[in-house]
Structure 1
Amino acid sequence: MTKGVAGIGKTVSVQKFILDWADGVANQNVDFMFPLSFRELNLIRTDRYSLHTLLLEFHPELRKLNDGEEYKDCQIVFIFDGLDESRLTLDFQQNMTLSDVKQIASVDTLMTSLIKGTLLPSAHIWITSRPAAASQIPAQYTHQLTEVRGFNAPQKEEYFRKRIRDESLSNTIISHIKASRSLHIMCHIPVFCWIAATVLQQMLKKRNIENIPKTLTEMFIHFLLIQTAKKDQKYQGGKNTSQEELLESQKEIVLKLAELAFKNLASGNLIFYEEDLTQCTLDISEASVHSGLCTEIFKEETLFQQKKVYCFVHLSIQEFLAALYAFHSFVTGNSAALKSLLNKEHTDDSTPPSCFSCIQPALRSKSQDHLHVLLKSAVDEALKSRNGHLDLFVRFLMGISLKRNQKLLKGLLTQTHSSSRSIKETSQYIKMLNTENLSPDRCINLFYCMFEMDDQSMHKEIQKYMTSPKKFKQQLSAAHCSALAHMLLMSEEVLDEFDLKKYNTSHEGRRRLLPAVRWFRTARLADCNFTDKSCEIVGSVLQSPNSLTELELSHNHLRDSGVQLLTKGLYSPHCKLQTLRLADCDLTDKSCEMVSSVLQSPNSLLQLDLSHNHLGDSGVQILCKGLSSPHCKLQALRLDRCKISYRSCEISACIFQSPNPLTELDLSNNELEDSGVQLLSKKLSSTHCKLKIVRLADSKFTAKSCEIVACALQSSNSLTELDLSHNDLGDSGVQLLSKGLSSSHCKLLKLRLSGCLISGKGCTFLAAALTSNPSHLKELDLSYNHPGESGLKLLSARLADTHCKLETLNTDHCTEVRLIPGVRKYACDLTLDPNTASRLLFLSEGNRKVTRVSEKQPYPDHPDRFDHWDQVLCREGLSGRCYWEAEWSGAGAYIAVAFKSIQRKMRKQAVVMGWSDKSWSLDCSTDRYSVWHKNETIAISVPSSRRVGVYLDWPAGTLSFYSVSSDTTLNHLHTFNSTFTEPLYPGFRLVDYSDSSVSLCQIT
């Protein structure tokens, strides 16, 4: 199946394919090639044939094949062009299934059997169609789908330069087209380029610059004027001098053609037969005469058996004339003609929207100025269409409603009807429309409707917004976002970075901004509350010409279904993505299947982040198939916190043996343990290994593994950066590791050992290694350890040594508590802030305990105080790695963290900790836990404990809650993943019962 909009070049591509075969250039293994257009098949749709006798109708030469049995031994290609023009009933469920080329049946039955593959199963079938009609063929019978997308930007310019030899004139036309986004977009269709060139070339030659078309409607009105002038010049010797006289002389035939266009638009008919013309009082001889007079609007074709069909040169011409007929009937009050079209077929709720339906409310309206009713109804009907087949019709209708455009059509429109009030009301209606179920591109089409009505208000408002120094603080409506997307798409230069979270708008507003990302190199769409539906929009962007090389979609609920929609774009030849981030998107190993498939096809991906997803070992195994592909160019893979174990280290040999091996691998925060790290370290010694950066932070391994890691460093390897942070290695582990650091084979530039239980003794081994091999290591991270004065002195001496390359030594947050194993090494001291406490909360024990009381406390007014909800925050804002514990009593409590910017006043949901995007909480009660963020909750079915631990890794964007058992064992409850933009303040909310309390615990 090949899809493409009308006039995009599908038939030409078919003709080129056939010509190459006939000339012996290509596909010489094919014996027969049978091109059959649907417009021809329509002519015999009521007749009955066998497959052989059907082919004889078109190719009498096949009589030599007798009964057609020879087809079974031949390579045959059937080409069915123009499915959108079909009037056959292609019922794949009810039609009889044929298997014999001699069986006689209706034409549509022959077609369905061929497509299903039961009739001549060895034959190849190629069908072309407009997108709206492609669904007539069930998906299971389509094995390959292609799309003709038309001219890209350079090809548009090439067309105008080749058609218009005058360089100065062609440059002027190209500049004018580029200045109007709606015209520039339409120029991807070759036929529209021809229309634009015809109009602009003639008007500029006559120096008619003042009236040069800037909108689609103006372009088509001038095209109609030019064609009628050509006809007048040819057949009447140019006796009609004015535009009005020209149109008046052709009024009858143009309006009959307009009626034909209007009647057939709803059903999408592009091809007309004798019966269609008769319905519009166009007899055959009249149509033939007119097609000869005005071949650039309406044309006649002779098919087999000398049968004739008629069509407009392009669908857009039909849509323009349909809008013209609707408006003409409206202003002339031709209600009888219109009402005759409003039969049950067009008004039944079960049928698709019709352009006729928009007229009915206007005819019923008794308002003095009911033009707005017509325009509003037209918009409503167009929005009901899933494929947007009435969008252009509505744009033309809006444009024709302008007084100045009606003046251009004077001669056809003997009466005019326009009202600035109606235009204003319609514009306001479009701005306020709820279009949540409409694609963002179709929302932009509504913005184009406003352009057609000469309403520039949104454009001016967005221009003002773009130049405002406080633009990101201003609230943007959904309509403004469509206007902003349009303006960004009009940029002549590719832009660097699009960060969606910067824009202060609703979810619908963010959705409408998405089409703009195609004009940026980097799109940051993280944490925008997107779901799988948003992936369909992003996928369509990747399938069209775009400039994206980096896409960030992390922290959204995309799920596997979202990745499935996204991969449609990743397969596209237009997709040039090099970096894709899908961290924390609720993905499973099913997503790995789709990503692996992309890696096995031609692609540009260099960096892939799947961190914080439930991929498991099965997911890694699936990914390895993609990593082993010669198409895979991936250099960096992040699988941080992906629920994988040591088994993934066993199956990851593909990482080292693929044609294009990885250079960066992140397996942090997984249960690799000693066995997994030892397996991985052995592979680091392989000559196939090209890894330069390895991150194994918090991988649950101990000093035992350091010996094998050291062996890898002592062998020939490519490692320049190694992160072993948050593993309880201790001084003994560092001692083993230092043997590798001392080796001349060790080329490490960066080593991270943050939070590894290292004391002054461990620093002695590191200092000795730096003395033995001083030529490489430039950065050493020992934060969250306890080197003591002696350790700091030894390492500072290495830092000052001119022979040692060490440039950066990080010893932040180093105290004795850092030698406690596990997350408790990150313990921090907290105190409650009285200025934030609700007046029904009582603070005690040096502001380390809060109790819910029944009497209001005499706290002074303060802007930071929670005045309705019983909540309190701590004084300390946290932005590093921190751990604390709290013990609660009573009916229940919420253990939480929040940004300082959380709201404090009134009984708003945004004030409650866990109910906004500025806070996260754990709801504790006697029989359950649940976690809250953005007013979304997840229940946790484990036995409840009165003591809770909280671990914040602010730089990594993780917040973890634990229940603390009586023997101080930590049991993980839940981890939030986010991108924190402010320090987080621990806080508590007490339920509405007196004597409920929470105390901060001392950790020793």
Structure 2
Amino acid sequence: SVTEWSRLQSSELCLCLHSGNRSGVLQRKLKRELQQKCQCVFEGVAKAGSPALLQQIYTELYITEGGASEVNQEHEVRLMEIASRKPGGAETAITCEDMFKGPADTEAPVRTVLTKGVAGIGKTLLTQKFSLDWAEGKAHQDVQLLFPFTFRALNVLKDRSFSLVQLLHHFFRGTEEVSSFEELQLLFIFDGLDECRLPLDFTQTKALTEPTESASVEELLVNLIRGSLLPSARLWITTRPAAANQIPAECVSMVTEVRGFSDPQKELYFRNRFRDEAHTIISHIKTSRSLHIMCFMPVFCWILSTVLEHVLKTRERAELPKTLTQMYIHFLVVQAKVKNIKYEGGSETDPHWSPETRKMVKSLGKLAFEQLQKGNLIFYESDLSECGLDAAAASVYSGVFTQVFREEPGLYQDKVYCFIHLSVQEFLAALHVHQTFVHTGVNLLYTKTQKFTLLRVKPKLKHLHQTAVDQALQSTNGHLDLFLRFLLGLSLPTNQTLLQGLLTQTGSSSQTNQETAEYIKQKLSEEVSAERSINLLHCLNELNDGSLVEQVQQYLSSGRLSEGGLSPAQWSALAFILLSSEEALEQFELKKYCASEEVLLRLLPVVKASNKALLSSCNLSESSCEALSSVLSSSSLTVLDLSKNDLKDSGLKMLSVGLKSPHCKLEQLSSCNLSESSCEALSSVLSSSSLSVLDLSKNDLKDSGLKMLSVGLKSPHCKLEQLRLSWCLISEEGCAALASALRSNPSHLTDLDLSFNHPGDTGVKLLTALQEEPHCQGAPGTAETDFTELSLDPNTAFRYIKLSDNNKKATHVREYQPYPDHQDRFDRWFQLLCDTGLTGRCYWEVQWSGRVFISVSYRGIKRKGGDYDSLFGYNDQSWSLDCSEYGFSVWHEDKQTRLPQPCSSSGTVGVFVDCAAGSLSFYTVSSEELIHLHTFNTTFTQTLIPGFWLYGDDSSVSLSD
């Protein structure tokens, strides 16, 4: 168009003015070449052999900003399951136009972007669309020259040497006239890092700085990525998640993730594709969690559409496929029919499994299985020959089974082969293993030792299944998860019926499937990782066994789940149910199910899929921390509450690795039995994470710990906004270190809680002085130990309790006190309440003598009559500390717990209540420190009021000012 031509001329003119006419000519040639190369695509939605214009068929993909470049080895279907549970708003969406602008909160230039995405999610199409927009002058015109590469094409140059200039000449016509690129703004795109077969060694590779210096292709790539070569150039690398760690984190400026289709985009796709049948199709897909999840991938939407389009034309709607195995069987059948009609002149009613087609499926299955075992998604002619398949046959297969197996021409006729998606390869691999066993009795999954041992044993299908289950469970990254689902699904007679003509024998029975299901349930009761247990439940679903899930659903509906009587297998089934729900997992609270470490480990996939994880007071120890760290590193969890768990320093150090996740914003670690030893790890977290809120209250961090924390607070990368350090044994020395840190980096921290410490006048002055400094406008305020103002309520006092000191002191006396009648008065016991209810966090101190019960109570406690349920600590309405010369003890619901701390006939007690957190703590108070006596952890359902029971003659309590 005229507009596009104007854009092109404008950008070329700028280039000519900047670096001379020769470069302008080069840009023109390069743009024309890329337009020709990128404007047409042969992707899933286009009919086989019919190219479609990219600009016409392209649907915007959901791309998110953030994420770490570390490896995530989970099976990609599991990654999609996790992604599908992420609550809306948990991530920051980003467009291609903003890819090199970087996060809004950083000024550093973005040189290298690493974009992750599972196979088939649309990464290659995304880079092609980016290149086409540049070539047509529609976007990215700040880039003067754009060079898109694929690792598939680079792989064939493995043993050859080039200079960077020669490499560009080799791939892009018309660049021969230019030998220097340093002054130009270049963008290199490297698509498919996961397919790279070049040994990228970032530790041993020699440094190169000259673009004209010759080296191996892998050495050129390493130096480009390091920034040694063309440091001003930009790089965009795409990869599947499992290969992301091939690039060192320090070489990556920003990580993005292609998430494929959002839920509305899925529906839009099917409405555009089916129109009249759209409602039926969308409703059916939503009934199968597995199918709905896979629709994140554009290529799977196309597979699904191909199958459903065929089924709706030829079968009753009640027979729409529901499981992954059924879907892929139908897909294979459709491709066989297309081959029969299109290439063999057959009709719709002719048998579609001809001898030639059966041979083709067998050969492709063998290739799929052997390459799956090696972890290969793309194959070269050498790979084909190892599987007994020659290049000529492969070319025939790719020409006939176009939508299953592809031959892609490379540079100078080098050919690359692949299945259209990893899941298709896994399905054909499972089909090959099943067919081989049924027809020959050979178990391809056996090791050589097993084969020798079992030579004289008649093979049974259940042994094949058990071997597959065992091998899948041994996999640390779940690479056999989908293969296992397919293998077990193929054993169902209903699925084998769909493959009549291809499978000449069945070899399975309902008894075999039942034995396999029982074996899986046995494995679920053993020590199985949470992720693998979820896949085993998917396998039970493929076997049409829903008994475990039904049992747990009965527990849920009856309300008996919190009793904690489920088996390990049933807890795994609960995780499966929660993950299969259509409701978003915004918040997960472990106590709703069972406050247990064992249960947490079974429900970890649910934690990973949630936005907030509330795990306070769940009897967790340091044993949980390693697993939780892994969850934090690979999820979008933004809030983690671990308060009131005995994590210790060792647990915190394990957890700190995950706390560096870019997603985690808020961390509750109060009352976790941490000491100053934890602070070094926490300091490192503050220096390199996105934490904005950190609660470390009620941990003995001391001054030495705060000094280490202050190192992290000084870091310019620290984004902490709120820091809670109440009850951490901090004095003037620690406050001085903190003030120094905040003076160095004052821009973020605005809320600092140092209550219930001993900063002294000097510490308070140092911190409050920060607010007066011009460069510390965001400096936080702080407070010394703040007391809650309380007074005794004379309308509640028993008539043998005397009030004095302006209702601050109460004494057990023998003289009757002429208080007026009042409905709130205790009429039989020596008790009284304060006049004000408690909210938020409250602290007060009580001086006592004799024998007294220092309590908090709900307002509704019984006041009349002499029953024991009116006494503080003898009911579920109140909690008490019993103080006397015989020692301390705590009471609740008429249960006494004796405390080991020594006691005299008088003293001072501090009481701290956190109403929202359900925490009530008692301390003895000395001139130097607070000594913890006991903490009640519960859930307060009503307003709390301080109260006292003056048990002994002449006993007294006095509220401190």
Specify if TM > 0.5: yes
CA 1:688–1:34: 2 relative to 1, 3 Å: closer
Residue 276 in 1 paired to residue 275 in 2? Answer: no
Written as runs of structure 1 = structure 2, the 5 A alignment for 1:885-900 is: none
Aligned match of 1:414: 504
Q: Cα gap change, 1:594/1:12 in structure 2, threshold over 3 Å: closer, same or farther?
A: farther
Separation of aligned partners in 1, 2:892 and 2:539: 43
Instruction: Find the counterpart in structure 1 of residue 881 from structure 2.
Output: 882
Aligned to 2:164: 51
Residues in 1 aligned to 2:613 and 2:805: alpha-carbon distance in whole angstroms: 47
The Cα shift of 1:533 comes to: 2.3
Q: Does 1:314 align with 2:421?
A: yes
Q: In 2, Cα distance between the equivalents of 1:75 and 1:88?
A: 27
User: Does structure 1 residue 644 correspond to structure 2 residue 730?
Assistant: yes
Match of 2:614 among 521, 524, 528: 524
Partner of 1:402: 492
Q: CA deviation at 1:48?
A: 2.6
- Do structure 1's residue 114 and structure 2's residue 113 form an aligned pair? no
Residues 982 and 122 (structure 1), Cα distance of their counterparts in 2 relative to 1, 3 Å cut: closer
CA distance in 1, matches of 2:202, 2:257: 24
Q: CA deviation at 1:321?
A: 0.5
Deviation at 1:157, TM superposition (A): 2.0
**One-letter amino acid of the structure 2 residue matched with residue 32 of structure 1:** L
Q: Does 1:670 align with 2:757?
A: yes
Cα distance in 2 between the residues matched to 1:55 and 1:482 = 53
1:37 to 138, 150, 156: 150
Alignment-derived partner of residue 53 in structure 2:
none
Aligned counterpart, 1:198: 306
**Cα gap change, 1:56 to 1:517, in 2 (>3 Å):** same
Match of residue 669 from structure 2: 582
Q: Secondary structure of the equivalent of 2:275?
A: coil
Q: Structure 1's 827 and 673: CA in aligned 2 closer, same or farther, altered over 3 A?
A: farther
Matched length: 768
Match of 2:591 among 486, 501, 516: 501
Aligned pairs for 1:686-705 (under 5 A) are: 699-700=784-785
- Counterpart of 1:333? 440
Q: In the alignment, what sits opposite 2:331?
A: 223
Rounded to whole Å, the distance in 2 between the matches of 1:582 and 1:97 is 45
2:698 counterpart of 1:612: yes
* Alpha-carbon offset, residue 257 of structure 1: 0.6
The CA distance in 1 between the partners of 2:198 and 2:286, in whole Å, is 41
After superposition, residues 2-151 of structure 1 pair within 5 angstroms as 2-65=115-178, 68=179, 70-151=180-261
- 1:590-989 equivalence runs, <5 A: 590=680, 593=683, 609-613=695-699, 614=701, 617-618=706-707, 638-645=724-731, 648=735, 651=739, 666-673=753-760, 699-700=784-785, 724-725=787-788, 760-762=804-806, 810=835, 825=848, 829=852, 879-880=878-879, 882=881, 884=883, 953=911, 955-956=913-914, 957=919, 979-980=937-938
Q: Shift in Å at residue 265 of structure 1?
A: 0.5
CA positional deviation for 1:235: 2.1
Q: Does 1:465 align with 2:555?
A: yes
Contact 2:874 2:894 in 1 (8 A): no
Could you say which residue in structure 1 is the equivalent of 2:626?
533
SS in 2 for 1:36: strand
What is the CA-CA distance between 1:320 and the residue it aligns to?
Answer: 0.5
- What is residue 367 of structure 2 aligned with on the other side? 260
Deviations 1:792-849 (CA, angstroms, capped at 9, x unpaired): 999999x9xxxxxxxx962699xxxxxxx96654985589xxxxxxxxxxxxxxxxxx
Q: 1:129 and 1:672 mapped to 2: Cα distance?
A: 52
Equivalent residue number for residue 490 of structure 1: 580
Q: Structure 1 residues 57 and 497 mapped into 2: Cα distance closer, same or farther (>3 Å)? A: closer
Q: State the secondary structure of the residue aligned to 2:220.
A: helix
For 2:177, what is the secondary structure of its paired residue? helix
Residues 114, 653 of structure 1: alpha-carbon distance in 2 compared, 3 angstrom cutoff: closer
CA distance in structure 1 between the partners assigned to 2:250 and 2:774 by the alignment: 47
1:241 aligns to what? Answer: 349
Q: 1:707 maps to what in 2?
A: none
Once residues 907 and 570 of structure 2 are traced to their aligned partners in structure 1, the CA distance between those partners, rounded to angstroms, is 45
Change (3 A) 1:122 1:679: closer
Letter in 1 for 2:157: I
Matched, 1:373 2:490: no
Gaps of 5+ in 2: 1-113, 793-801, 825-832, 839-843, 855-872, 942-954
Match in the other structure for 1:931: none
Q: Is the 8 A contact 1:880 1:954 kept in 2?
A: no
TM-aligned CA deviation for residue 252 of structure 1: 0.3
- Specify the code of the residue in structure 1 equivalent to 2:292: H
Secondary structure of 2:578's aligned partner: helix
CA distance, structure 1, for counterparts of residue 233 and residue 930 of structure 2: 60
* Residue identity in the other structure for 2:728: C
Per-residue deviation at 1:11?
Answer: 1.4
Partner of 2:340 in structure 1? 232
C-alpha distance 119-812 of structure 1, shift in aligned 2 (>3 A): closer
Question: Structure 1 pair 959/161, CA: closer, same or farther in 2 (3 Å)?
Answer: same
Counterpart contact for 1:830–1:875, Cα < 8 Å = no
8 Å Cα contact 1:961-1:972 kept in structure 2: yes
Aligned to 2:799: none
What SS is found at the alignment partner of 2:318? coil
**Contact 1:620 1:648 (8 Å CA) reproduced:** no
The question of whether the paired residues in 2 share the 8 Å contact of 1:477 and 1:506 is answered with no
Determine helix, strand or coil for the equivalent of 1:568: coil
- When residues 683 and 227 of structure 1 are mapped into structure 2, their CA distance, relative to the original with a 3 A threshold, is same
Contact 2:810 2:956 in 1 (8 A): no
Is the contact made by 2:363 and 2:389 (CA closer than 8 Å) also made in structure 1? Answer: yes
Q: Which moved more, 1:198-207 or 1:620-629?
A: 620-629
Confirm whether residue 159 of structure 1 aligns to residue 184 of structure 2.
no
Instruction: State whether residues 153 and 410 of structure 2, in contact with CA within 8 Å, keep that contact through their aligned partners in structure 1.
Output: yes
Q: Given residue 228 of structure 2, which amino acid in structure 1 is its aligned partner?
A: T
Unaligned stretches of 5+ residues in structure 1: 340-354, 572-576, 701-722, 732-757, 764-781, 800-807, 814-820, 832-873, 889-894, 903-912, 914-918, 925-943, 984-1001
> Taking CA–CA contacts closer than 8 Å with sequence separation of 6 or more, which of the two structures ends up with the larger relative contact order?
2
- Residue 7 of structure 1 and its aligned partner are, at CA, apart by 0.8
TM-score after normalising by structure 1? 0.66
Give 3-state SS (helix, strand or coil) of 1:64's partner. Answer: coil
Alignment-derived partner of residue 652 in structure 2 = 559
Cα gap change, 1:222 to 1:98, in 2 (>3 Å): same
Q: Work out whether residues 851 and 905 of structure 2, in 8 Å CA contact, stay in contact via their aligned partners in 1.
A: no
**1:302–1:309 CA contact under 8 A, matched in 2:** yes
Q: 2: distance between equivalents of 1:883 and 1:901?
A: 12
Change in 2 beyond 3 A, CA 1:569/1:182: farther
1:358/1:378 contact within 8 Å kept:
no
TM-score using structure 2 length: 0.68
Shift of 1:981: 6.2
In structure 2, relative to structure 1, the CA distance for the partners of 1:88 and 1:535 (3 Å cut) is same
2:177 is aligned with what amino acid?
A: K
Aligned AA (2:290): S
Q: Which moved more, 1:256-265 or 1:361-370?
A: 361-370
C-alpha spacing 1:542/1:116, structure 2 compared with 1 (3 Å): closer
CA distance in 1, matches of 2:820, 2:399: 93
**Contact 1:84–1:130 (CA under 8 A) maintained in structure 2:** yes
